[in-house]
Amino acid sequence: MDISGAAALVTGGASGLGLATARRLAEAGARVAIVDLPSSAGATVAEELGGSFAAADVTDPDQVAAAVAQAAASGPLRVVVNCAGIAPPAKVLDREGAPTPLADFERIIRINLVGTYNVIAQASAVMARTEPAADGDRGVIVSTASVAAFDGQIGQPAYSASKGGVHAMTLPIARELARYGIRVLTIAPGIMETPMLKGLPQAAQDSLGEQVPYPQRLGRPDEYARLVLAMVDNGYLNGETIRLDGAIRMAPK
């Protein structure tokens, strides 16, 4: 799919995987719309890429609808990439053996899973009404799960559940949106070198890197971005989650 002159919306585009993706999409000629929290560096990133910034919380339908409309004003909306997310650890039981607050579990599900769904719903409503390209393609939606969807660690019940949900909804949404010529895909990254991960102590980062069979290092945000571009480019990929993880299978902790 030729995305030159098309609009591409990237949630979480101010940082990490989203930022790397926004850069690659801009390089490919797309008009990039960064959707991120008001507190993020979204405005600076958008200026650097010659794109636009919409301050929005992915869990808010009105804010996301406005962000999608703003993106679609710059060209036909052909690419949507869901990178907004959070990953705070939260065990079932605290040190005293008491249940951790239910609100912590709900917050992770709300941002990672409900937020991703909300963006897909609001964006696909606009994409479905957009003129198709010559081959009938209207566009591609790429979401971000995690290897934690499949081999979650201790402390990741909410995160794993949220990412498992992103993986699980990929196929039913791809099936539903097939009639509009919209493809729906998910990437399940392993351990990527982003601000989210750099929040961990260096020893933990090194240990995680050593657990990767090959190449024995953390993944680079640009490797994620290049997979998004490959997914956009390859018209037969649909309804699938692809792991991008150097063959890591995470240990219990």
Shortest reach from residue 162's CB to ligand NAD, in Å: 8
Stretch that binds ligand NAD, among 54-62, 72-80, 122-130, 169-177 (CB under 6 A): 54-62
Q: Are 184 and 167 in contact (CB under 8 A)?
A: no
Q: Pick from 3, 7, 8, 18: which binds ligand NAD (CB under 6 A)?
A: 18
Catalytic residue among 117, 159, 180, 224: 159
The count of residues interacting with ligand NAD (CB under 6 A) is 30
- Nearest-angstrom CA–CA distance, 238 and 234: 9
11 φ/ψ angles, rounded to the nearest 5 degrees? -85, 150
Q: Pick from 31, 45, 54, 59: which binds ligand NAD (CB under 6 A)?
A: 59
Q: Are 159 and 145 in contact (CB under 8 A)?
A: no
Whether 214 is catalytic: no
DSSP letters along 41-79, please?
SHHHHHHHHT-EEEE--TT-HHHHHHHHHHHHTTS-EEE
Map the footprint of ligand NAD across residues 120-159, applying CB under 6 A: 144, 146
Alpha helices in the chain (DSSP H): 16-27, 42-49, 61-72, 102-109, 115-127, 157-177, 195-198, 202-210, 221-233
Binding track over 104-123 against ligand NAD, x by CB under 6 A:
-------xx--x--------
Examine residue 58 and tell whether it contacts ligand NAD (CB under 6 A): yes
> Quick one: which H or E segment has residue 185?
strand 182-189
Point out the residues that are catalytic. Answer: 159
Q: Which residues contact ligand NAD by CB under 6 A?
A: 11-12, 14-18, 36-37, 40, 57-59, 83-87, 111-112, 115, 144, 146, 189, 191-192, 194-197
